[in-house]
């Protein structure tokens, strides 16, 4: 074990050596350093955890990773970087956030954060079960295991310092609506949409409480994006013109309003923490409505295949690709392109910094 008098210094030196060129420019408050970033949730922030579990949702084959260094399909559901990577880079931590279950991960990688996320996960345990994903509860168990590993490596004091000062991002909820509520009949028989949203919000608040109990003090909880405007939803529910599916967008907005209000009420009880609702919906919609303001040409189709439906296994090495993925908001029928991730984080980051620091 590293001696107690130097363990915090060792962590700080390692963090400083890992600073990478930011693709998103932010200014943290003076004297603030973010030692690590942790992400929990679904495929939007899964860095390859699903590669190592028996899940139907994987992105570890071409053309996923087409624009990643070496054109390696890492398990990220993207042509390149994901939101996890862009946020880690934006907070000055490191350029690529690894998956916790990556068999090649090194102990030193743990010091600056990992992703516990799993493609097809949801707040609702039935969502994760339907998608054979690592549930949110399992992701929390992995974080507990991570903490013990970190204590073994750098000691309890340095571990507490890392956890307390790091940024935690919870990015999940879309699968609950599109799979468990609108896709499968069970939850619709139990709840109307308001009741189901309340159920999800309760699970989200419980999750924040669990993270706080484990030492997290800067937690960003994402709302659901413009789910009805992703290519697959346009194709399945947007009619002949592939318009945005208004009912699904309305459900996303309802959940977001309820979550935002409850988080506002909740965080006043925890004065030593910063718990922020992260508006994912409006930045997403702004890009879709004003694509040329962000250098985009295509916001209603993905780059893979026709762009209208291909996601996960329908997007494969035999599927034709668009000419230029950098002018597409979406990579496949559901997931943002690397360009899309960079743009949306650029829009979000200032408000996030104000809320979390």
Catalytic annotation, residues:
43, 332, 335
Residues 6+ apart with CB under 8 A from 302: 231, 308, 310, 311, 315, 328, 330, 331, 332, 333, 334, 335, 337
Q: Residue 14 burial by CB count (10 A; 0-12/13-18/19+): exposed, middle or buried?
A: middle
Phi then psi for residue 95, to 5 deg, are -80, -35
CA 17 to CA 243: how far, in whole Å?
A: 47
- Say which DSSP state 134 is in: P
- What gap in Å lies between CA 289 and CA 287, rounded to an integer? 5
Alpha helices in the chain (DSSP H): 7-17, 83-90, 107-110, 125-130, 136-154, 156-165, 174-175, 186-190, 193-213, 231-237, 246-267, 281-289, 338-356
| SS3 of residue 274 by DSSP | strand
Question: To which residue do tokens 């549930």 refer?
Answer: 135
Q: Which residues pair with 168 in a beta bridge?
A: 38, 219
Burial profile 43-59: b = 16 or more Cβ within 10 angstroms, e = fewer:
bbbbbbbbbbeebebbb
Q: How many CA within 13 A on the CB side of residue 260?
A: 13
Torsion of CA 150, 345, 95, 93, to 10 degrees: -40
């Amino acid at each position: 074990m590293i001696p107690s008098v130097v363990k915090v210094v060792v962590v700080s030196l390692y963090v400083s050596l890992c600073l990478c060129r930011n693709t998103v420019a932010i200014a943290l408050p003076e004297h603030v350093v973010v030692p690590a970033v942790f992400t929990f949730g679904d495929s939007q922030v899964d860095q390859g955890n699903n590669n190592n579990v028996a899940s139907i949702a994987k992105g570890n084959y071409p053309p996923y990773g087409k624009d990643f260094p070496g054109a390696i399909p890492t398990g990220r559901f993207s042509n390149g970087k994901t939101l996890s990577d862009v946020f880690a880079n934006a907070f000055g931590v490191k350029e690529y956030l690894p998956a916790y279950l990556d068999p090649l991960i090194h102990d030193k990688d743990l010091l600056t954060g990992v992703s516990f996320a799993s493609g097809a996960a949801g707040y609702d345990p039935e969502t994760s079960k339907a998608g054979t994903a690592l549930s949110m509860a399992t992701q929390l168990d992995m974080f507990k295991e991570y903490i013990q590993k970190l204590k073994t490596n750098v000691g309890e004091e340095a571990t507490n310092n890392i956890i307390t000062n790091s940024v935690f991002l919870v990015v999940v909820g879309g699968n609950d609506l599109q799979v468990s509520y609108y896709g499968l009949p069970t939850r619709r028989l139990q709840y109307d949409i308001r009741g189901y949203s309340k159920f999800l919000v309760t699970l989200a608040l419980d999750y924040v409480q669990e993270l706080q109990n484990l030492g997290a003090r800067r937690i960003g909880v994402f709302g659901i994006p413009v789910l009805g405007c992703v290519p697959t939803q346009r194709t399945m529910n947007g009619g002949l013109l592939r318009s945005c599916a208004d009912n699904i967008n309305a459900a996303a907005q309802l959940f977001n309003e309820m979550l935002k209000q409850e988080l506002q009420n909740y965080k006043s009880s925890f004065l030593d923490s910063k718990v922020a609702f992260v508006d994912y919906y409006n930045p997403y919609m702004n890009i879709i409505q004003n694509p040329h303001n962000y250098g985009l040409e295509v916001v209603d189709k993905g780059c893979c295949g026709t762009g209208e439906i291909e996601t996960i296994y329908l997007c494969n090495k035999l599927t034709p690709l668009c000419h230029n993925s950098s002018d597409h908001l979406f990579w496949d029928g559901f997931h943002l392109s690397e360009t899309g991730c960079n743009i949306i984080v650029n829009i979000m980051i200032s408000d996030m910094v104000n809320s979390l620091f």
